[in-house]
């Protein structure tokens, strides 16, 4: 296990290096340059002086080398727009994104596994067809469209829930207020994951329930709940764990749309705002952070996968 972890960490470092190079080259190749330099009140001399101060006149390999050296020293640079350290901006926004995506993922897992199991046990029943229909709807519906519909219904028409932000302006922090602000973005972010996990759980359970060892367990007279919980569910969850490992980074990346629709001050919204103004240091810092989250989730998925299926040796 130790050798496996060291090998995976080495691969993670190499991948981060590749991601940083590709992101750096792409963002610096975008036409127009930082919007900071597009201010019509700046003279040509001012723009040229600012480009020189930001190091934008240097060749790209030189700029990348300088950025990488600073990153290795723990310095992600400063935002072109706010002059704040990128590390501080990310430290402020990342917990908000992890809170939102974490709750959404827990909600989708907590509902999807029971729904998938019940749907498989009652295959071709009315309940199974309803779950299949809702799952298809959840996978097909665009995230931004669902978010707008929920805002119109629950915020504008019914006035039950806030339309955006993390807290009500002018009010002191309260847990109830924070939960109210979390409900709509959590539903939007969890819907697609819930639908996909339900379908995978159902398929896995149907496949496992037809195996010989399940029939043997039933023939021994074991209660149905024991057969399902001890013999079927664990094996059925193996492909589901793989899907969860894919959904976590997708949730972090997909949070950009949800956070923008609901004005949630997280990493996704920060990255969108930085990309729209071509704030290079913030875009690079946000991309690097998301890449680290993806690699960590992938590593955890592999470890859980090996735990659920002892035939898989990761050592």
Q: How many CB atoms lie within 10 A of CB 179?
A: 12
DSSP line for the chain: -HHHHHHHHHHHHHHHHHHHHHHHHHHHHSTT--GGGG-TTS-HHHHHHHHHHHTTTS-HHHHHHHHHHHHHTT---B-TTT--BHHHHHHHHHHHHHHHHHHHHHHHHHHHHHHHHHHHHTTTSHHHHHHHHHHHHHHHS-HHHHHHHHIIIIIIIS--S-SSSSS-TTS---HHHHHHHHHHHHHHHHHHHHHHHHHHHHHHHHHHHTSHHHHHHHHTT--HHHIIIIIIHHHHHHHHHHHHHHHHHHHHHHHHHHHHHTT--SHHHHHHHHHHTT-HHHHHHHHHHHHHHHHHHHHHHHHHHHHH-TT----
* Predicted confidence (pLDDT) per residue in 91-137, tens digit: 999 899 889 988 998 999 899 989 988 998 888 889 889 988 888 88
Q: What pLDDT score was predicted for residue 151?
A: 94
Q: Return the half-sphere exposure (C-beta side, CA atoms, 13 A cut-off) of residue 214.
A: 19
In a domain, 205, yes or no: yes
Q: What pLDDT score was predicted for residue 256?
A: 82
Decide: 112 and 201 in contact? Cβ < 8 Å.
Answer: yes
The reported pTM is 0.81
* Predicted confidence (pLDDT) per residue in 18-71, tens digit: 988 998 888 888 777 787 777 778 788 888 888 888 888 888 899 999 999 999
Sign of CA dihedral 128, 223, 305, 251: positive
Count of domains for the chain: 1
* Mean predicted confidence (pLDDT) in 267-285: 88
Higher pLDDT, 251 or 293: 293
Which two three-digit tokens encode residue 112?
């999807």
Which two three-digit tokens encode residue 274?
């930085």
Decide: 230 and 247 in contact? Cβ < 8 Å.
Answer: no
Tell me the C-alpha distance between 280 and 39, whole Å. Answer: 17
Range of weakest confidence among 209-218, 239-248, 284-293: 239-248
Q: What pLDDT score was predicted for residue 135?
A: 83
- 306, pLDDT greater than 70: no
Residue 161: domain span = 89-264
- 158, pLDDT greater than 80: yes
- 249, pLDDT greater than 80: no
Tell me the C-alpha distance between 128 and 206, whole Å. Answer: 12
- 179, pLDDT greater than 90: yes
Give residue 148's pLDDT band: very low, low, confident or very high (50, 70, 90).
Answer: very high
Higher pLDDT, 78 or 5: 78
CATH label of the domain that carries residue 133: 1.10.3720.10
In a domain, 157, yes or no: yes
Tell me the C-alpha distance between 161 and 173, whole Å. Answer: 16
In a domain, 63, yes or no: no
In a domain, 113, yes or no: yes
Q: Tell me which residue has tokens 């705002």.
A: 273
- 315, pLDDT greater than 60: no
Count of residues in the chain: 315
In a domain, 73, yes or no: no
Give residue 267's pLDDT band: very low, low, confident or very high (50, 70, 90).
Answer: confident
Q: What pLDDT score was predicted for residue 35?
A: 78
Mean pLDDT over each residue of the chain, to the nearest integer: 85
- 7, pLDDT greater than 60: yes
Q: What pLDDT score was predicted for residue 308?
A: 65
In a domain, 76, yes or no: no
Decide: 218 and 228 in contact? Cβ < 8 Å.
Answer: no
In a domain, 75, yes or no: no
In a domain, 295, yes or no: no
């Amino acid at each position: 296990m130790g050798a496996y972890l060291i090998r995976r960490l080495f691969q993670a470092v190499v991948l981060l290096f590749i991601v940083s190079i590709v992101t750096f080259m792409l963002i610096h190749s975008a036409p127009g340059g930082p919007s900071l330099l597009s201010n019509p009140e700046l003279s040509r001399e001012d723009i040229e002086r600012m480009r020189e101060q930001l190091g934008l006149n240097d060749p790209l390999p030189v700029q990348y080398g300088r950025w990488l050296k600073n990153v290795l020293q723990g310095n992600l640079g400063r935002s072109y727009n706010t002059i704040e350290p990128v590390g501080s901006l990310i430290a402020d926004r990342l917990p908000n994104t992890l809170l939102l995506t974490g709750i959404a993922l827990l909600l989708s897992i907590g509902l999807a596994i029971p729904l998938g199991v019940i749907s498989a046990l009652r295959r071709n029943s009315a309940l199974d067809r309803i779950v299949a229909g809702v799952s298809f709807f959840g996978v097909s519906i665009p995230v931004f469209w669902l978010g707008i519909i929920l805002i119109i219904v629950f915020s504008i028409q019914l006035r039950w829930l806030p339309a955006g932000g993390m807290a009500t302006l002018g009010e002191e922090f309260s847990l109830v207020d924070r939960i109210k602000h979390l409900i709509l973005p959590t539903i939007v972010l969890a819907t697609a994951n819930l639908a996909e996990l339900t379908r995978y759980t159902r398929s896995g359970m149907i496949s496992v329930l037809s195996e010989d060892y399940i029939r043997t367990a039933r023939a021994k007279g074991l209660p149905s709940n024991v057969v399902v919980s001890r013999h079927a569910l664990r094996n059925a969850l193996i492909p589901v764990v793989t899907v969860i490992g894919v959904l976590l980074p997708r949730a972090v990346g997909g949070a950009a749309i949800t956070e923008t629709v609901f004005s949630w001050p997280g990493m996704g919204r920060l990255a969108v705002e930085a990309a729209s103004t071509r704030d290079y240091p913030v875009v690079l810092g946000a991309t690097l952070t998301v890449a680290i989250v993806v690699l960590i989730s992938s590593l955890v998925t592999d470890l859980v996968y090996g735990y659920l299926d002892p035939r898989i040796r990761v050592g």
